Amino acid sequence: MKQRAAMAIATSLSPKVIIADEPTSALDVVVQRQVMQTLGRLQDGLGAAVVLIGHDMGLVAQFADVVGVMYAGKIVEIGPVRRMIEAPKHPYTRLLVDSLPGIKVKQALTGIPGLPPPLIDLPPGCSFSPRCPYAFERCGHEVPQPQEVGPGQLAACHLYPEHSALPPMPERMSDTEGQL
Ligand code: SF4
Q: Is the pLDDT of residue 179 over 60?
A: no
Residue 71 CB–ligand 1 contact under 6 Å: no
C-alpha span between 62 and 119 (Å, rounded): 30
Taking residues 153-162, report their average pLDDT.
Answer: 96
**CB of 157 closer than 6 A to ligand 1?**
yes
pLDDT the model gives residue 172: 55
Q: Which pLDDT belongs to residue 108?
A: 74
pLDDT at 139: 97
CA of 90 to the centre of ligand 1 (A): 8
Mean pLDDT of the chain: 88
State the average pLDDT over residues 68-97. 95
* Phi, psi torsion values for 95, nearest 5 degrees: -70, -35
The residues spanned by each domain of the chain are 1-54, 71-180
Of residues 111 and 159, more confidence is placed in 159
Residue 175 has pLDDT above 50, yes or no: no
Q: Are 81 and 73 in contact (CB under 8 A)?
A: no
Q: What pLDDT sits at residue 178?
A: 52
Give all strands (DSSP E) within 58-104, no chain letters.
Answer: 66-71, 74-80
- pLDDT band at residue 174 under the 50/70/90 scheme: very low
Residue 158 Cβ inside 6 Å of ligand 1? The answer reads yes
